[in-house]
Amino acid sequence: YLVAYNIPFCAACSRSWIGVFEPKANQYRETVALEDPLPDQTLTVVPLSMGGAPSVFLAYGTSLGDAHNRLNVAAYSFIGNQLSKIWSRVNLPQGKLELGPGTMRLSFLTELRPQVKERAEVYTWTSKSIELQSVAEGREP
């Protein structure tokens, strides 16, 4: 089981945690955990289905108290007794994440001053990696 929690009490004192629990001796025990994987941010965790592949999940959130809602996204793989970060995108102003079957779309602003453009990146994932498939930039949203 994958368990995650977030305590977003305040921007400076928030706390998050992600842990994997497995059956051992007729009970579930913590196998591995990440202490505060997204400090001072919201936390959402979504499993990525990859058939019989090792467990992979996304953890994402936005910075608390940030007027620009910077999105941070990381993909983790659980193999054996280890959680490994296999991919990430961070500090994406006004960032949005959309998930579809086997695809992920990130959209965000390229700048926070004049000449702002919206950028969209589309990724696909396999059992071994997350790959960039396309990039598009347009005028200010």
**For residue 61, what pLDDT is reported?**
94
Please give the Cα distance from 5 to 17 (Å, whole number): 5
Its pTM stands at: 0.86
State what percent of residues in the chain have pLDDT above 90: 50
Under 8 Å CB-to-CB from 16, ≥6 apart: which residues? 4, 5, 6, 7, 36, 37, 38, 39, 41, 43, 61
pLDDT of residue 84: 87
Taking residues 9-14, report their average pLDDT: 80
Q: pLDDT-based confidence at 140, cuts 50/70/90?
A: low
Q: Tell me: the pLDDT tens digits for 94-113? A: 999 999 888 999 999 998 77
- pLDDT given at position 47: 87
